[in-house]
């Protein structure tokens, strides 16, 4: 191995990318909760647009943070990720909560906190905000209905309040003043870390999660609705109701680029690129070229993806291929240059 200090790199990634992204997620979840409460006080079209926009703005840091979806996000006992983002949405589970007044006579924050992952989180909020109750009944009409509206609003505001709790818990779990999972990463190989036996193991975890994120983008997020595993199935698309499927993948790439460059927002420091350049500047340039090509291909898909898989197959295939090429470069050439062993992708779509 070179003299490059991977421990300093991990600290920089935590300080400049991971913690700021999770802080942003918690902040935007709070803004979404406030907009949901405001909308339910006066259910008008302007309020619906505001709460939809707040949902999308909350979705951005959540999708960007998938680049490091390990530790408290994935592992028990916390396993906060599915509580925030169990996708695709399961309408039968959601409608089961709304329709079953015997099991759920009151839908408030306390009740929502006890629900399973398929009945809470951003996909459920999306369903309520974008999916109409029937073909001839708009979302706004359902929320405004004197019989259905109050219960749906109670569910919505219970969900957004719970989202604040889960997002804040994720930030706190990483924060040095809280659960300090970042310390587990940075102190890998010392007595202070019970999670990672070596700094190489810690860095490999970060690297592999980036790899999984790229693989999930083409295999699950594009491949499943596009029929790469059989027939086309738009019900398997992420954020299908809002039309944000492509935007979600773009945010995935923004998160990956942040870890690679070491920059997010106004924060900047060491990134994985700095390490790679000590081994191969040519690979660094090639990675950025393929990352840019994937982003451009995604930008070329007319949204929503649920229509594009039928009407714009060429553009969808180009995005799939660009992400596949990026993944191959990451898992072969870049991994070899940095002495990383690629491990099994344990992501199952939730």
Comparing CA positions, the residue from 103, 201, 120 lying closest to residue 156 is: 120
Q: What is the pTM of this model?
A: 0.96
Q: Which CATH number goes with the domain that contains 331?
A: 1.20.1420.20
At residue 348 the predicted structure's pLDDT band, cuts being 50, 70 and 90, is very low
Q: Are 168 and 32 in contact (CB under 8 A)?
A: no
Does a structural domain hold residue 246? yes
pLDDT bin (cut points 50, 70, 90) of residue 346 is: confident
pLDDT of residue 133: 65
CB neighbours of residue 261 within 10 Å = 19
Claim to verify: residue 294 and residue 158 sit in the same structural domain: no
Question: pLDDT over 70 for what percent of the chain?
Answer: 97
Number of folded domains that form the chain? 2
Q: How far apart are CA 214 and CA 207, in angstroms?
A: 11
Report the mean per-residue pLDDT for the chain: 95
Structural domain for 95, as ranges: 17-178
pLDDT digits (tens, 9 = 90+) for 277-334: 999 999 999 999 999 999 999 999 988 999 999 999 999 999 999 999 999 999 999 9
**DSSP-based three-state secondary structure for 4:** coil
Q: Which two tokens stand for residue 311?
A: 């009407």
216 shares a domain with 128: no
**Averaged over 223-246, what is the pLDDT?**
96
173 & 210 share domain? no
Q: What is the three-class DSSP state of 239?
A: coil
pLDDT of 189 above 90: yes
Given a cut of 90, is residue 337 above it in pLDDT?
A: yes
Considering the domain architecture, whether residues 167 and 192 belong to the same structural domain is answered as no
Domain boundary among 178, 209, 238: 178
Q: What CA–CA distance (Å, rounded) separates 50 from 55?
A: 9
Is 135 a residue whose pLDDT tops 90? no
CB atoms within 10 A of CB 27: 17
């Amino acid at each position: 191995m070179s003299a490059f200090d991977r421990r300093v790199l991990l600290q920089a990634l935590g300080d400049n990318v991971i913690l700021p992204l999770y802080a942003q997620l918690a902040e935007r979840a709070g803004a979404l909760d406030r907009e949901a409460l405001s909308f339910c006080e006066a259910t008008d079209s302007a309020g619906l647009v505001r709460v939809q926009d707040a949902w999308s703005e909350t979705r951005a840091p959540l999708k960007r943070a998938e680049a490091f979806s390990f530790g408290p996000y994935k592992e028990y006992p916390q396993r906060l990720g599915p509580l925030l983002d169990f996708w695709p949405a399961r309408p039968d589970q959601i409608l089961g909560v709304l329709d079953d007044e015997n099991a759920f006579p009151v839908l408030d924050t306390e009740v929502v906190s006890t629900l399973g992952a398929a009945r809470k989180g951003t996909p459920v909020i999306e369903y309520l905000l974008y999916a109409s109750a029937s073909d001839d009944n708009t979302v706004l009409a359902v929320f405004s209905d004197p019989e259905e509206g109050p219960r749906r609003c109670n569910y919505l505001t219970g969900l957004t309040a719970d989202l604040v709790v889960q997002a804040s818990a994720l930030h706190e779990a990483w924060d040095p003043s809280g659960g300090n999972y970042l310390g587990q990463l940075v102190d890998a190989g010392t007595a202070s870390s019970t999670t990672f036996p070596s700094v190489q193991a810690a860095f490999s975890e970060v690297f592999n999660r980036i790899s999984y994120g790229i693989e999930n983008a083409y295999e699950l997020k594009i491949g499943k609705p596009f029929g790469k595993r059989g027939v086309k199935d738009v019900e398997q698309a992420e954020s299908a109701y809002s039309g944000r499927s492509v935007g979600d993948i773009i945010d995935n790439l923004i998160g990956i680029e942040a870890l690679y460059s070491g920059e997010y927002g106004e924060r900047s420091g060491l990134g994985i690129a700095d390490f790679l350049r000590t081994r191969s500047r040519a690979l660094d340039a090639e990675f950025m070229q393929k990352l840019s090509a994937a982003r451009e291909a995604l930008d070329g898909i007319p949204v929503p993806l649920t229509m594009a898989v039928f009407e714009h197959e060429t553009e969808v295939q180009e995005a799939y291929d660009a992400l596949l090429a990026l993944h191959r470069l990451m898992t072969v050439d870049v991994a070899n240059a940095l002495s990383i062993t690629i491990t099994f992708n344990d992501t199952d779509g939730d």
